[in-house]
């Protein structure tokens, strides 16, 4: 059912009466995937900044031996929140920002399958993230590591920090799950005529597989977080050994989610690199079908390797051997991808734009992270590496050197499509070099710190263990990475003051459908659904001498969904309910506070707001509205 | 161009009104995927239960606690409610609104009957057997798994009731039909989950 969604043609009565908002209400109520993409980028960028500041504080504490910059408790909170914030609230939303901004355009769709749910996914993520970060000002942040291992997180963590972690991630995770389902259905049913699966751009393919992984991985952490919050708040005994519970159960549940999660993070980056490199090499992607196959294989194997995080837990030699081998197998499809990118560049006319610099820089950096990954996959060797800075170096090479490089490449690449303005190339190149050099300064030495025996997650270290110089270098590198990010922000500010004049085909060598429509695209994306005649659909038309895509339908009235405040209200209700649940067993000095919290009134009010909004949504049909051909002409002229 | 959509405008519903519009088809597909996620959710809860089911911490064990007659009746009620929800969808495909509403009401009543038995069961355990959420790891896992399922049934009862109200107000259209269809999918899913709960929790608890 890949035909165009020819909506809005048979209804006799067209609805023009739908209220359309402006200003802040427009952003609170929007269901337009392009605006939701921008919201994801703003919110994700904000949390990325918080996570970055936490990283700098960690590095400042470790700049010299026996430093007293922060206390041990604050240090634990910093490392916990740095990891949690970066993964769940920083890079995941920026991935969703690019998916929202690009995927409907790449498949020739006017919208996503569920515009309302798309908005709901964003707001639940944002309220979950706010709830998690409120912990800083409400009695202390989570302090049990981003993995929240029990019993450290259950019996030995006595502030509300871990409650903020369980409830905040629960709400944010709901948004991610909703987003995943939305993109799966969008890609399955909303593709333009002729866009078969094997003609989809690689970023769409990668996002498709990522969404499937989200669907099957996130429910596991949902359950894990429920069990942990029941243990902590209601006194259940899942992880309490004294009552028959089992702390290793948490490790299994966490990593059954957690390992697929790292592929959820990296696959979209693979997709971005697979778009940027062909564009700036002026060659089609080498080995497209092997790329698709490798992506699916990585996703499949990604679910089979969770216990490699638990080699030292004591699962026994058989389990360790099997998980070891499965982990090493992942290097095969990943290697296929690396060679495909190299062969794409081979013989191409490469232009070194800042976007392409990040993409090319990604390849050797990610390979280094991959090689240490195979080293860690060897269970006997892992006994040596486990919980040292070697592991820290490894996962920062794949997550920062892989994913963040990919995201920065994608942001430079699609910025003109999202905002209609080209980012400054000179500043972009400065961003790349400061960030890239800063990154390697920070993390390369950490391999050796780990091999020398420096443990991760320690607040300070004694002098004269050969740690001092390398920690100093690492901190200098972290500051340089900070400079790189500040340069990127400066670039955004400078660019936003320039006129909005990016061309539709902003890089002139665009290959996929998003470059065939104006930058930024009109509300309805495609005035006429395009007919796709091959892989790299737009490039194919350009090579055939056409200026634009061949339309698959006549110009007509376009049906759009109405904006709605309900997603915001539903998420607000969950936020209130979360706070209510978290403090339901708290001893308040104020009698009113104890009345409303200890009787679960806040929890009930929050849930009533959410369910009330859901019922409203169900009872009142959304007729949407239509954009007539005359209005479409006006928008193009404007 | 969906011809089915056009038929609706002429006042005629297609045979499968839930699949007449792209929105309806998207909703069905999205819901199938959601159920895939729900399967992982319950799978994780089952795994937790299996890991902890013998850790009774000197509290009651499964064999001492469970009463198969009551759960057998609950099982029968829920299985029959799945059948009545099939009848509802068949009535929808015949465009028989009255029959559709009747079968949905029967489904809701059976769902309420199941919930009543479950609440009675939990009440008995807590009050007479001193078997609460905090008694043991087994009790925590039991109440979380069975309670999650019960909460799903309760959500389904409220959801289908609201749909019945909508059918009274709006009738059967290409907008209401997909809603009824996915609620039936949901109902079958929680029925299947119960079959596993009956086998893994109750039968295995009695004999294993």
Phi-psi region of A8 (alpha: psi -120 to 50; beta: other; left: phi over 0): left
A68 touches chain B (CB under 8 A): no
Say whether B36 and A215 touch across the interface (CB within 8 A): yes
Burial of B58 (0-12, 13-18, 19+ CB in 10 A): exposed
Predicted pLDDT at A586? 85
What are the DSSP calls for B87-132, one per residue? HHHHHHHTT-HHHHHHHHHHHHHHHHHHHHHHHHHHHHHHHHS---
pLDDT at A412 over 50: yes
Min Cα distance B179 → chain A (Å) is 9
Question: Where do we find the tokens 């749910």?
Answer: A117
From the list A299, A296, A280, A301, the residue with the least C-alpha distance to A345 is A280
A253 touches chain B (CB under 8 A): yes
Q: Which residues of B touch A182 (CB under 8 A)?
A: 30
Q: Which residues of A touch B48 (CB under 8 A)?
A: 223, 227, 238, 249, 253
Kindly report, residue by residue over A553-601, the tens digit of the pLDDT. Answer: 999 999 999 999 999 999 999 999 999 999 988 888 888 989 989 889 9
Burial B89-117 (b: 16+ CB within 10 A, else e): bebbbeeeeeebbbbbebbbebbbbbbeb
pLDDT at B182 over 50: yes
Min Cα distance B180 → chain A (Å) is 12
Count of the separate structural domains present in chain A: 1
**Do the beta carbons of residue A181 and residue A87 sit within 8 Å?**
no
pLDDT at A4 over 50: no
Which residue of chain A has the CA closest to B43? Answer: A220
Kindly report, residue by residue over A423-464, the tens digit of the pLDDT. Answer: 999 999 999 999 999 999 999 999 999 999 999 999 999 999
**Interatomic CA distance for residues A473 and A445, integer angstroms:** 8
Q: Which residues of A touch B163 (CB under 8 A)?
A: 618
A530 touches chain B (CB under 8 A): no
**Interatomic CA distance for residues A102 and A98, integer angstroms:** 6
Query: What HEC string does A226-261 produce?
Result: HHHHHHHHHCCCCCCHHHCCCHHHHHHHHHHHHHHH
Question: What integer best gives the mean pLDDT of chain A?
Answer: 94
DSSP A514: G
Tell me if residue A309 falls in helix, strand or coil: helix
User: Residue range B102-130: average pLDDT?
Assistant: 96
Which of A138-152, A578-592, B42-56 bottoms out in mean pLDDT, i.e. has the lowest?
A578-592
pLDDT at A384 over 90: yes
User: What domains appear along chain B, each with residue ranges and CATH number?
Assistant: 13-53+62-207 (1.20.120.80)
Mutate to test the interface with A, among B34, B160, B176 (most CBs of A within 10 A): B34
**Domain carrying residue A186:** 23-564+622-637
pLDDT at A493 over 80: yes
Say whether B137 and A618 touch across the interface (CB within 8 A): no
Say whether A181 and B41 touch across the interface (CB within 8 A): no
Q: Work out the pLDDT band at B5, boundaries 50, 70, 90.
A: very low
From the list A118, A15, A136, the residue with the least C-alpha distance to A627 is A15
For position A417, which CATH number holds? Answer: 1.20.210.10
Sequence-distant (6+) residues with CB within 8 A of A314 are none
Sequence-distant (6+) residues with CB within 8 A of A212 are A180, A184, A299
**Interatomic CA distance for residues A498 and A504, integer angstroms:** 17
Q: Is residue A14 part of a domain?
A: no
A22 touches chain B (CB under 8 A): no
Which of A93-107, A196-210, A620-634, B184-198 bottoms out in mean pLDDT, i.e. has the lowest?
A620-634
User: Residue range B40-63: average pLDDT?
Assistant: 95
From the list B55, B208, B66, the residue with the least C-alpha distance to B141 is B55
pLDDT at B160 over 90: yes
Q: Which residues of A touch B162 (CB under 8 A)?
A: 615, 618-619
Predicted pLDDT at A525? 95
A224 touches chain B (CB under 8 A): yes
pLDDT at A23 over 90: no
The closest CB to that of A219, out of B2, B44, B52, belongs to B44
Q: Which residues, listed in sequence order, are joined to residue A627 by a DSSP beta bridge? A: A558
pLDDT at B1 over 50: no
**Interatomic CA distance for residues A123 and A271, integer angstroms:** 26
Sequence-distant (6+) residues with CB within 8 A of A224 are A250, A253, A254, A257, B44
DSSP A530: B
Q: Which residues of B touch A220 (CB under 8 A)?
A: 40-41, 44
**Interatomic CA distance for residues A490 and A370, integer angstroms:** 32
Handedness of CA A119, A124, A129, A130 (dihedral sign): positive
**Interatomic CA distance for residues B176 and B181, integer angstroms:** 9
Which residue of chain A has the CA closest to B2? Answer: A6
Q: Is residue A550 part of a domain?
A: yes
Say whether B26 and A218 touch across the interface (CB within 8 A): no
Structure tokens at A554: 């006549």
DSSP A519: S
Which residue of chain A has the CA closest to B29? Answer: A185
Q: Work out the pLDDT band at A21, boundaries 50, 70, 90.
A: confident
Tell me the backbone φ, ψ of residue A506, rounded to 5 degrees. Answer: -60, -35
**Interatomic CA distance for residues A204 and A505, integer angstroms:** 19
Structure tokens at A469: 């110089």
**Interatomic CA distance for residues A565 and A114, integer angstroms:** 15
Burial B193-206 (b: 16+ CB within 10 A, else e): bbeebbebbbeebe
Predicted pLDDT at A529? 96
Size of interface A-B (CB pairs under 8 A): 123
Tell me if residue A397 falls in helix, strand or coil: helix
Q: Is residue A477 part of a domain?
A: yes
User: Residue range A396-416: average pLDDT?
Assistant: 97
Sequence-distant (6+) residues with CB within 8 A of A140 are A73, A77, A159, A160, A161
From the list A500, A530, A497, A515, the residue with the least C-alpha distance to A414 is A515
Angle between helices A425-451 and A468-496 (to 10 degrees): 160
Q: Which residues of A touch B41 (CB under 8 A)?
A: 219-220, 222-223
Predicted pLDDT at A622? 85
**Residue A466 CB: number of other CB atoms within 10 A?**
12
Q: Is residue A580 part of a domain?
A: no
Tell me the backbone φ, ψ of residue A440, rounded to 5 degrees. Answer: -65, -35
User: Residue range A176-186: average pLDDT?
Assistant: 97
Tell me the backbone φ, ψ of residue A486, rounded to 5 degrees. Answer: -65, -40
Sequence-distant (6+) residues with CB within 8 A of B150 are B115, B118
Say whether B36 and A234 touch across the interface (CB within 8 A): no
Say whether A227 and B48 touch across the interface (CB within 8 A): yes
Predicted pLDDT at A320? 96
pLDDT at A530 over 90: yes
Predicted pLDDT at A631? 83
Give the residue numbers in B contacting A (CB under 8 Å), as ranges.
1-2, 5-6, 9, 22, 25-26, 29-30, 33-34, 36-38, 40-41, 44-45, 47-48, 51-52, 55-57, 133-141, 144, 162-163, 166, 170, 175, 179
Say whether A6 and B1 touch across the interface (CB within 8 A): yes
Burial of A318 (0-12, 13-18, 19+ CB in 10 A): exposed
**Interatomic CA distance for residues B155 and B112, integer angstroms:** 11
Instruction: Using alpha carbons, list the distances in angstroms from residue B207 to B59, B75, B124, B196.
Output: 18, 18, 21, 15
Q: Is residue A269 part of a domain?
A: yes
Q: Is residue A12 part of a domain?
A: no
Q: Is residue A246 part of a domain?
A: yes
**Interatomic CA distance for residues A268 and A176, integer angstroms:** 14
**Do the beta carbons of residue A537 and residue A195 sit within 8 Å?**
yes
Say whether A113 and B34 touch across the interface (CB within 8 A): no
pLDDT at B203 over 90: yes
Say whether B22 and A184 touch across the interface (CB within 8 A): no
Angle between helices A161-189 and A72-84 (to 10 degrees): 10
Predicted pLDDT at A630? 84
A304 touches chain B (CB under 8 A): no
Tell me if residue A434 falls in helix, strand or coil: helix
The verdict on pTM exceeding 0.90 is yes
Predicted pLDDT at A635? 60
User: Residue range A459-487: average pLDDT?
Assistant: 97
Angle between helices A247-281 and B22-52 (to 10 degrees): 140
């Amino acid at each position: 059912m890949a035909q165009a969604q020819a909506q809005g043609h048979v209804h006799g009565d067209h609805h023009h009466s739908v209220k359309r908002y402006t200003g802040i209400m427009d952003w609170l109520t929007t269901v337009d995937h392009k605006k939701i993409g921008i919201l994801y980028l703003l919110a994700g960028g904000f949390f990325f900044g918080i996570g970055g500041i936490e990283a700098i504080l960690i590095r400042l504490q470790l700049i010299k031996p026996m430093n007293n910059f922060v206390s041990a408790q604050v240090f634990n909170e910093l490392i916990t929140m740095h990891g949690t914030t970066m993964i769940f609230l920083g890079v995941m939303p920026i991935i969703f920002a690019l998916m929202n901004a690009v995927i409907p355009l790449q498949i020739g769709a006017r919208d996503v399958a569920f515009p309302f749910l798309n908005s709901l996914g964003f707001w639940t993520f944002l309220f979950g993230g706010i709830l998690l970060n409120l912990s800083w000002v409400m009695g202390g942040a989570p302090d049990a590591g981003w993995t929240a291992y029990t019993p450290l997180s259950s019996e030995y963590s006595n502030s509300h920090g871990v409650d903020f972690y369980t409830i905040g991630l629960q709400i944010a995770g709901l948004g991610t799950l909703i987003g995943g389902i939305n993109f799966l259905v969008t890609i399955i049913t909303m593709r333009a005529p002729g866009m078969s699966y094997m003609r989809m751009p690689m970023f769409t393919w990668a996002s498709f597989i990522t969404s499937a992984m989200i669907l099957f991985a996130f429910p596991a952490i949902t359950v894990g977080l429920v069990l942990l919050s029941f243990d902590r708040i209601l006194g259940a005994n899942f992880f309490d050994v004294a009552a028959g519970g089992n702390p290793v159960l948490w490790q299994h549940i966490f990593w059954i989610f957690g390992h697929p999660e790292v592929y959820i993070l990296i696959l979209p980056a693979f997709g971005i690199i697979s778009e940027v490199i062909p564009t700036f090499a002026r060659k089609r992607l080498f080995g497209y079908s092997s790329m698709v196959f490798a992506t699916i294989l990585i996703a499949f194997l990604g679910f089979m390797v969770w216990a490699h995080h638990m080699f030292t837990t004591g699962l026994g030699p058989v389990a360790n051997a099997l998980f070891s081998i499965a982990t090493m197998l992942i290097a095969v499809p990943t290697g296929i991808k690396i060679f495909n990118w190299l062969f794409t560049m081979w013989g191409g006319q490469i232009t070194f734009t800042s976007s392409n610099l990040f993409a090319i820089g990604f390849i050797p950096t990610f390979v280094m992270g991959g090689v240490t990954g195979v080293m860690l996959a060897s269970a006997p060797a892992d006994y040596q590496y486990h919980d040292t800075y070697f592991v820290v170096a490894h996962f920062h090479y794949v997550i920062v050197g892989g994913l963040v490089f990919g995201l920065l490449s994608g942001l430079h690449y699609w910025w003109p499509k999202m905002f209609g303005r080209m980012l400054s190339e000179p500043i972009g190149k400065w961003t790349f070099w400061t960030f890239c050099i800063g990154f390697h300064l920070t993390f390369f030495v950490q391999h050796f710190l780990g091999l020398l025996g420096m443990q991760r997650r320690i607040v300070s270290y004694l002098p004269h263990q050969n740690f001092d110089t390398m920690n100093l270098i690492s901190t200098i590198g972290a500051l340089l990475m900070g400079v790189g990010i500040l340069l990127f922000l400066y670039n955004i500010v400078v660019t936003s003051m320039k006129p909005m004049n990016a061309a539709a085909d902003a890089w002139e060598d665009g290959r996929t459908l998003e470059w065939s429509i104006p930058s930024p695209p009109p509300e309805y994306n495609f005035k006429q659904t395009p007919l796709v005649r091959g892989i790299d659909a737009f490039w194919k038309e350009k090579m055939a001498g056409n200026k634009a895509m061949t339309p698959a339908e006549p110009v007509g009235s376009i049906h759009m969904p109405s904006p709605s405040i309900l997603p915001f209200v539903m998420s607000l209700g969950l936020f209130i309910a979360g706070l209510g649940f978290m403090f339901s067993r708290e001893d308040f000095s104020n009698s009113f506070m104890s009345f409303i919290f200890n009787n679960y009134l806040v929890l009930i009010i929050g849930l009533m707001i959410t369910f009330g909004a859901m019922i409203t949504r169900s009872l009142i049909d959304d007729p949407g509205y239509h954009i007539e051909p005359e209005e479409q002409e006006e928008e193009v002229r404007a | 161009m969906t011809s089915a959509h056009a038929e609706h405008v002429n006042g005629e519903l297609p045979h499968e009104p839930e699949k007449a519009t792209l929105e309806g088809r998207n909703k069905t597909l999205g819901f199938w995927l959601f159920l895939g996620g729900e399967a992982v959710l319950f799978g994780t809860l089952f795994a937790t239960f299996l890991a902890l089911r013998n850790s009774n911490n000197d509290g009651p064990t499964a064999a001492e606690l469970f009463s198969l007659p009551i759960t057998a009746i609950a099982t029968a009620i829920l299985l029959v409610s799945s059948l009545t929800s099939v009848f509802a969808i068949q009535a929808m495909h015949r465009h028989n609104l009255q029959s559709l509403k009747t079968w949905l009401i029967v489904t809701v009543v059976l769902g309420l009957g199941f919930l009543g038995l479950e609440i009675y069961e939990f009440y008995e355990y807590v009050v007479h057997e001193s078997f609460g959420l905090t008694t043991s790891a087994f009790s925590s896992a039991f109440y979380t798994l069975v309670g999650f399922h019960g909460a799903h049934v309760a959500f389904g009862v409220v959801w289908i009731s609201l749909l019945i109200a909508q059918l009274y107000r709006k009738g059967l259209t290409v907008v209401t039909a997909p809603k009824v269809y996915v609620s039936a999918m949901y109902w079958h899913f929680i029925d299947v989950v119960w079959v596993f709960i009956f086998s893994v929790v109750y039968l295995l608890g009695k004999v294993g």
